């Protein structure tokens, strides 16, 4: 549960029976609010939503975190919390904990996942996959160029 929209709607999806809680496990990602707000400010669409104001971004991330905590407490399903900071500083331990929670015991898979932790490594792996597919690579280049262009009004 990292996405604020999912955190806000999960309880409703469960209550109306659109998700089967018998087969659902939730991983709730937490992050220091100040770090999350700083990250928000790096994304044009989201920072615009906050009026490009770090204080508003901080308030927004705190509300999202409180909502995710409430949802996790009310969902009536297993929840494993992972602190983003701990995942970055000790990926092997946290991936092992997540794998145990999810019932995964494939050591090679866990090592592979641990190596992908961190934006640079994950981005590198992501772009390697894109480079192997010319269509995906072209889409990425177009999206990157559009994201860097000034917003037209």
> 4-117, what's its fold?
Rossmann fold (3.40.50)
pLDDT in tens, 28-38: 999 999 999 99
pLDDT in tens, 59-87: 999 999 999 999 888 888 889 999 999 99
Domain with CATH 3.40.50.300 in the chain: 4-117
pLDDT at 119: 66
Rounded Cα–Cα distance for residues 106 and 114 (Å): 12
* E runs forming strands in the chain: 26-30, 79-83
Given a contact cutoff of 8 angstroms between Cβ atoms, the answer to whether 35 and 85 are in contact is yes
97: closest CA among 84, 76, 81, 109? 81
| Other Cβ atoms closer than 10 A to 2 | 14
């Amino acid at each position: 549960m990292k996405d604020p929209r999912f955190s806000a709607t999960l309880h409703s999806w469960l209550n109306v029976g659109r998700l089967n809680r018998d087969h659902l496990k939730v991983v709730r990602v937490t992050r220091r609010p100040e770090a999350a707000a700083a990250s928000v400010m790096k994304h044009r669409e989201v920072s615009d939503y906050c009026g490009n104001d770090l204080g508003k971004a901080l308030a927004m991330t705190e509300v999202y975190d409180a909502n995710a905590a409430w949802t996790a407490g009310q969902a009536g399903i297993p929840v494993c919390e992972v602190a983003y900071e701990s995942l970055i500083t000790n990926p092997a331990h946290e991936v092992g904990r997540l794998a145990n929670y999810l019932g995964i015991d494939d050591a090679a898979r866990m090592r592979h996942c641990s190596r992908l932790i961190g934006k640079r490594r994950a981005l590198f792996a992501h772009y390697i996959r894109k480079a192997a597919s010319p269509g995906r690579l072209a889409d990425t280049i177009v999206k990157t160029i559009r994201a860097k262009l000034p917003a037209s009004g």
